[in-house]
Amino acid sequence: MTFKLRNGAQRTGYIVQPAAAPFPPHNVPIVVWQEGGPGFAMTNEWGGNVEKPFNLLPNFGIALLVLPLPGREGFGPQFYTALADDRNFGAIDIDEAAQAVAQMIQRGYTSPGQVGITGCSYGGYFTSQSITRYPTLYAAANSQCTLLDLFHEWQVGFTPLVSYLEGRPPTTDPGEYIRDSPIYNTTKIRTPLLIFDGTFDYLPVTISANFHDQIAVNKPSSPVKFLKFKNEGHGLSLKNSQITAGQAQLAWFRQYLAAAKP
């Protein structure tokens, strides 16, 4: 499917539906997904895990939108670098996805209350930043092994990459880092949020725990749940972890997406 943006650009992606579902979809629950990275290609490596739930969610009645947005490989240098241009990081792909969601609702593919969002690593950042930037757009979210604090990542992690993506160090423009870090914007969140992280994630699990706790104490606030997986790193590799996370992901979207089938 193709979406035309307000600036005239077009974005083309795929919707993965349950077997035998009619196309185009009509008033069904749809989850928006983004790959990790940023920069990783979004290709047809159909998987059955929570990080890439191409098979998991559609096989249980929930469609998945796979839509490459700025910062992805395979669409030319301008598309790839757009995420880091000007003040685009934390905004351009988030805003384009919101326009795509609005168009899916307008076309009757889905409706308010039936749109979810998920992803791991940069996809987790995309999820977390989306629900701070668009507090009422998504009815449920599942953020996994997510980047949450750009100050911390600049200081102890990928300093050159963060400086490139933000276009400046935090010492010269702390406001930009605050706007682009979900951990500092939890009071805006209204979307029911399920968080996954591993105890050995190089994106510290303590920040994910802090993210959960801040949302939990902010009022008014939507439901939030944090699952911490022992002996897991950046993403889930153990079979039992995937089973537990898969059941939790499916149950979360079934509970909070209005028309999801039991």
pLDDT score recorded for residue 200: 97
pLDDT score recorded for residue 41: 87
Cβ–Cβ < 8 Å for 96, 240: no
User: Confidence band (pLDDT; 50, 70, 90) for 221?
Assistant: low
Say yes or no to pLDDT of 220 above 70. no
DSSP bridge pairs for 118: 33, 142
Calpha distance 228→208 (Å, rounded): 9
Looking at the structure, give the CATH architecture of the domain made up of residues 2-256.
Answer: 3-Layer(aba) Sandwich (3.40)
Question: At a CB cut-off of 8 Å and minimum separation 6, what does 45 contact?
Answer: 52
Select the more confidently predicted residue: 68 or 55.
Answer: 68
Say yes or no to pLDDT of 219 above 80. no
First to last CA, the chain: 27
- Tens-digit pLDDT profile for residues 236-253: 999 999 999 999 999 999
Say yes or no to pLDDT of 260 above 70. no
Calpha distance 220→43 (Å, rounded): 39
Residue 47 CB burial class (10 angstroms; 0-12, 13-18, ≥19): exposed
User: What is the mean pLDDT of the segment spanning 166-176?
Assistant: 95
Say yes or no to pLDDT of 222 above 80. yes
Q: Where are the domains of the chain?
A: 2-256
User: What is the mean pLDDT of the segment spanning 25-51?
Assistant: 89
Longest CA span, the chain: 54
